[in-house]
A and B are shown apart, each in its own frame.
Chain A
Amino acid sequence: MMITLTHYLILAAVLFCIGVFGVVVRRNILIIFMSIELMLSAVNLVFLSFSRYLGTQDGHVWVFMVLTVAAAEAAVGLGIIVALFRNKQTIYVDEVKELKG
């Protein structure tokens, strides 16, 4: 049995949807953030599978860029979480509702 492009795409879709589940259902902001990282990695898997299928390496460069963006996002996002915790003493997004009408 051969592993084809579709196998990798389905795997990436499943992992991406698990990340979506984490973002939608969980209320701990740290776990929401980790789910976002998981979704970014699933997208990287799609990039690399299509690169492998097409025999080019442009996808590898874009994965590089996605990794850089993920690291920058983690640094700034975790800074925001620290600032949020300092001001509100909570990491649960359902307790941050000042702007709720």
Chain B
Amino acid sequence: MMEPIFFYGFGGLAVVTALLMVTRVNPIASAVWLVVCFFAFAALFITLEAHFIGVIQVLLYAGAIMVLFIFVIMLLNIGAEELKARTMQFSGLLGGLVTIYLIVLITLGLLKNPVRFFEPLTEGYGYVAPVGRLLFTKYLVPFELTSVLLLVAIVGSVVMGKRKL
């Protein structure tokens, strides 16, 4: 089966690019690594048979949100001379150790559980139509509230971004 190859390949890609994203000094480099990371995430979603969500991940995260990030980075335009070279300090070392401890703790906790295999799925799992059917019937109220959230975001960002009100 190809499944382990895809899982370890894209999972490894996601972890490596996430580490690169966190450790770069230049925010532009971070943003580009994060785009690659989101592509790996989309591939992982597709290995989980979430086809629609995988496409949306590329469309929204890699396509739209990261464009906004790169826009803002270029807008602020921190020159290379202003970027502080942050060497590995005590806080970085401590943070790294705590992170590794956290990972080990969660992993050991998860490994105590019995092994749970994935069952075969019904036809059409994760396509646009079944997900949409849930969205427009069972989750109707969250869907409508989403529009209110977006309205608040529109108003908030205009208030923040407009220089003179």
Tell me the A residues contacting B by CB distance below 8 Å: 1-11, 13-15, 17-22, 24-28, 30-31, 33-35, 37-38, 41, 44-45, 48-49, 51-53, 55, 57-58, 60-61, 63-65, 67-76, 78-83, 85-86, 91-92
Which B79-131 residues sit within 8 Å CB-CB of chain A?
84, 86, 91-92, 95-96, 98-99, 102-103, 106-107, 110-111, 113, 115-119, 121-122, 125-126, 130-131
Task: Using A22-B22, A55-B119 as known contacts, say yes or no to A3 and B3 having CB atoms under 8 A apart.
Answer: yes
Tell me the B residues contacting A by CB distance below 8 Å: 3-4, 7, 11, 14-15, 18-19, 21-22, 24, 27, 30-31, 34, 37-38, 41, 44-45, 47-50, 52-53, 56-57, 60-61, 64-65, 68-69, 72-73, 75-76, 78, 84, 86, 91-92, 95-96, 98-99, 102-103, 106-107, 110-111, 113, 115-119, 121-122, 125-126, 130-131, 134-135, 138-139, 142, 146, 149-150, 152-154, 156-157, 159-161, 163
